[in-house]
Structure 1
Amino acid sequence: MQFSLPSLDIDAAFVLTVLDNQGKSHYLHNNSACGTWVGLKPDGSMVIGAAYDGCYVREKDGAYVMTITLEEVLNGEVQHHRKDLKCPILPAMDSPSPDVCAAIKREDRLSCANPRVAKDLCEGLGCCFSPRDSAMPCYYGNKLTAQCTADNHVLVAIYKDMTTPSLILDSVNLLTVNPASCPELSVSNNNAFIVFRFPLSCGSSFQMDGDKMVYENRFEATKDVVTWQGTSITRDSTMRLTIRCGYARSGIVPLQVEVFTLPPPLPVSTYGPLLLEMRIARDQQYASYFSEGDYPVVKLLREPVYLEVRILQRTDASLVLILHECWATSSEATQQPQWPILVNRCPFTGDNYLTQLIPAGAASLNVPFPSHYQRFSINTFTFVDERSQLSLGGLVYFHCSASVCVPSTSESCRTNCARRKKRVAEMWVVEEHMENIVTSDGPVDFIAEQDEQTRTMKGDLGACSSPLLDWARGVAAAGGVLAVILVVMALWNCHRNQNPKMYTVKA
């Protein structure tokens, strides 16, 4: 593993240290016993290297980690910097994806197990399984497959496209095993793969690591160098590969397989927080969204509200966003009163206006990862008092509990709502154990149509207030002709009081 440190200011004084497995700090310098070295590049930058099995490298979360600290003194001020250097361990036993297996041509397949092997066992070996091929149902598919067997053998399969440009498979050699002294060494290859099988007793380097016995073997692909009139060229890649097998001292069951390549590849996937966002679109095309200054969004009763939940800062196209439950509340908190919108991924059937699920791909063709989005629309409503049946007024907030799904042979990540049974509101409960809950950026203010007409007159009558008007507004919430007449009378009385000179009384 290697770490580069940019050139420091000429007036800066610094101390470079490294932490050991107990967290103790050590001065970092060239130390062959601990597998560390420090050098300088012509541009003044510093290069630090460390062996995987050195004194200051530890194993954590499937990677080798070394922690470096830099204490810099500049203009009398002390600054501390800390960096974790990580190199991943390649998963040599993971079964290939269906796309990878389908790309291996029939003539390029090499058998990974006997023809009667079960699918689970085949995939557990890190190989492809095709039930349609009775002659060779289990075959190699990954760029690298490594197995440390229970009978103390090592099996390594290397794909020609492990490097770019492709390897010349005939040039791949097992450096730690002498074929002349190991008659059990077996090598087979075709146009795409080369497979090595040999016992651990054939020259594998051996070391003790706590309660484990670790066997190490190295592979290398040589380059084909062409020379003409004193000039030499090559068009081949360089490949160096280290395979380590760890066994328990008290048994022969393999503990793990570790694979290192030079240079180490970037990890395909990483763990991190799931960031979600809920937005309200301005129209059913989801062409634009309400911004922070637009809230609360005002909607008439029964008018549709177009909501969207999306994953942020992820570019993995295989991820699928799943909405488990969605509900509305009268406050930002997720407490009562609540009204269910989605239950068990599907529209709540106890509502006489069902929530409409909107496929992201159909609504907008310019979405980069459609599976990262979930969209739905609801008809506006307002909370009412359970006893008086009068509107409670106020704002309405939306919430959803969500998770991310990765499709596999056992999980399609699809939701089928066609055969869901009808469930009443009393049966719906928000599951508190859901870890990811997202809330809309702001609330929605739902008003009746006559309230909208009244709201547009506030520019002239905003300062108007009277007991009659307040009482009339309360009655208007229940609707009816009488309520409308009372509101008009109250507004007229208020307007007349604010402008007394505009009105005269004639006998």
Structure 2
Amino acid sequence: MVLALVGVLWLCGFVAGGLDSWDDPSRLRCGYDYMQYSLPSVLDDAAFVLSVIDHNGKPHYLHNSSACGTWVGQDSDGSIMVTASFDGCFVKEQEGEHIMTISLEEVLHDGKPQYHKKDLKCPLLPAMDAPSIDECAAIPRADRMPCANTSVSRELCEGVGCCYTQNDPGNPCYYGNKLTAQCTDDNNMVVVVSKDLTLPSLILDSVSLIGVDSTSCPSLSISKTNSFVGFRFPLACNVVNQALDGMIYESTLVATKVIQTWQGSSITRDSTVRITVRCTYGKTDVVPLEIEVLTLPPPSPVSTQGPLFLEMRIATDGAYSSYFAEEDYPIVRVLREPVFVEVRILNRNDPNLVLVLDNCWATNSANPTDDPQWPILFNGCPFPGDNYLTERLAVGAPSENLAFPSHYQRFMVSTFTFVDPNTQVALGGLVFFHCSASVCVPSATDSCIVNCPQRRRNVL
């Protein structure tokens, strides 16, 4: 039951499943011009006050306001629906996202209030206008996916957000946006996704429709090039909802992750994406599109010292021409992006010493013995159980002018993040790198050189 009292939204009940459930990302929907958030269903037991925080940090009770672009109501399942326009009073643009902050005041049984705050974030969506001439020209002809028949005009082709060129009479109209969604007049839904929709790029073979396949939807058509994957299927294959102004057809695309597991630890280097497309048919021809793109947080390295005064540091590039300073940490990297690591001996000038890396590994805490752990180098060689093998790098190019090249060891590791082995949800916090090393003096029986088998780096 929802009571409006002087603009205050009181929810007579408690949030089913506890307030932890309001962190479920599926409760937030992101449209082109609005966001919609669903609070769990309520039961008769307690009371809440729901507020929104303005740009100056001041709270305002949430209520229906066309002037500020906010609407609050209750769905048929009892959940509370909060909708806010991106151009309203309480949504701001920051770092490529639309952000609105809501506050929930929970009135406990003893009468004491407890406050909870949450930032609702939706990405700034790519425009559905036709791509620029340069964007269209950059797509190799072999990767161009047809958007319409060969007789289509430039006006109609670009009107549905596609590229047009007269230089290719066999395929003049083709997809070029990172995301294109169409609700056609022959009762079909079309969704085309570029691998460049996310960073790191999507593995197109991993993109699929939830609950829609060739068995449940025999008319499903899937097209793919090296750059795009497209889905075309009848509206009847979607989830159907009744609306006041017609029917809403909804479908969701997701990209699965490759999960690597070793002795109870799990990692991934793949982006996750969730795209929800809704087509509304009825009194209006407007086609709302909802999209949510989430990328996993990248790990961050850390410098450390050992009993032999060894230093680990991260280079800014593969030439090791400069290094991140202490105040630069934690650094941010996109999944699968290379991280150039160096370990060196400090305060020694003996040219006979050779630094040998024994094992290197990653954890999601500063303690090198904490779990989970992921091997990077195992017995001095790239860990063979990884689908993106670490690469040992040579040291001592003439241009570097290193006094003692044997005092250095370098390797490149592709960025990854830890995930829960059961839920496959990314674990929070930073990622720390650790190494165990020793100093060796070459002899007739020990060259101090670690010989590793040759393996391909990226094996999917």
TM-score range relative to shorter protein = 0.3 to 0.5
TM-score, normalised with respect to structure 2: 0.42
Give TM-score scaled by structure 1 length: 0.39
Structure index of larger Rg: 1
